[in-house]
Amino acid sequence: MNFLDNSKWVKDTLAKAEKKIDYTFDKIETLFPYTTKNGKYESSVFELPIDDICWWTNGFYPGIMWLMYLRTKEVKYKNKAVECENALDAAFDDYYRLHHDVGFMWLTSAVADYRINKNEQSRKRGLRAADMLAARYNINAEYIRAWGFGDALKGHAIIDCMMNIPLLYWASEESGDPRYKYIAEHHADTTIKHHIRDDYSVNHIVIFDQDSGEILAKPAGQGYAEGSSWSRGQAWAIYGFVLSYIHTGNAKYLNAAKNVSHYFISNICDEYVAKCDFRSPEEPVIYDSTAGVIAACGLIEIAKAVNEYEKPLYLNAAVRILKATEERFCNWDTSEQSIVQMGTSAYTNGIHTPIIYGDYYFIEALMKLDGNEILFW
């Protein structure tokens, strides 16, 4: 498959996404949409009201707004993104309930604003979030703690953090202080050692002894079971490791990204859509559309990093994933506010529902393919 054969499809699909986001702009009533109910976005999770300013996905809607602003230059998108960014300040005041996902929250909001507009207040927000992420680093075991303080969830490190540590790389680049980068690299090295298995599938969660660094457990997390293969975790690893390569130039991170991507591609190559878990029972069939679009973003970046003879493997896989997602899982009807359907939060809950980051990564991937050098991470 030659990518040039798909350029019209990319442009047409982006145009449909732009049209739908323009239509829903005044109809989405929350600053931080998560999933839809009866076609309408709301910030609720598993029937629990999330007025939770600390919820980990709260950076994705402002991220979509910044993507649309870059694409259209329409000021309404900029204004909405800034409104969301300002509202996120309340999360800084709820320190005990924050977590390692401050990267997800502020890279696509405040840091994106700073990159685009050189807003000094946004720079301060990004650096403050980076300080909070760096403070979660365990010096003895060389990992960033995912959640909690005190004894709650102590020792937990998760694969998702590979997408948060770009906040630390940015902070080093911006401040000139190498300590942020050192923490990010040490966490990435620990992730290679303990999260990536011999077959290049990944563990979602690794629990460490906080003092010795001994591995205590590798539980199922959001996958089917211990030792299974949660597809979105695999996608976080693909994109996260190539981002570490982009920020450091260290080939071991590119090699890790390639290895985990080969595993992902081999598990979707029949239809180019991802099941929630690659090692789960045949029935019920549980898909996770978000895993595919996240992986596609990473595959596109890998294609940029490798030599010309390797590029087609990664670029064509990304295009096939996005085309399959559009054909099978996208809803362009204006009665549904989301675009990408059939996302799954975890194997046991939040099954086959739109999730805001599905739309975000789908649009980001399409914009990358359309020649926009988009890298909020």
The two three-digit tokens of residue 155, written as one number: 């020792």
Task: Please compute, for residue 68, the number of CA atoms within 13 A of its CA located in the half-sphere on the CB side.
Answer: 27
32 vs 30: CA distance, rounded Å: 5
358 vs 291: CA distance, rounded Å: 8
In the set 52, 89, 160, 209, the catalytic residue is 160
* Contact (Cβ atoms closer than 8 angstroms) between residue 83 and residue 347: no
Q: In the annotation, is 160 catalytic?
A: yes
* Contact (Cβ atoms closer than 8 angstroms) between residue 143 and residue 187: yes
Measure CA 142 to chain center. 22
**In degrees, to the nearest 5, what angle opens at C-alpha 226 toward C-alphas 228 and 49?**
95
**In degrees, to the nearest 5, what angle opens at C-alpha 61 toward C-alphas 100 and 265?**
70
User: Which residue's entry shows tokens 């949409």?
Assistant: 33
256 vs 258: CA distance, rounded Å: 5
Q: In the annotation, is 333 catalytic?
A: no
The two three-digit tokens of residue 20, written as one number: 């739908």
Give me the helices (H) in the chain, please.
7-24, 60-72, 75-87, 89-92, 102-106, 112-117, 120-134, 166-175, 179-194, 231-248, 251-268, 289-305, 311-329, 356-369
In the set 26, 94, 101, 270, the catalytic residue is 101
Catalytically active residues are 101, 160
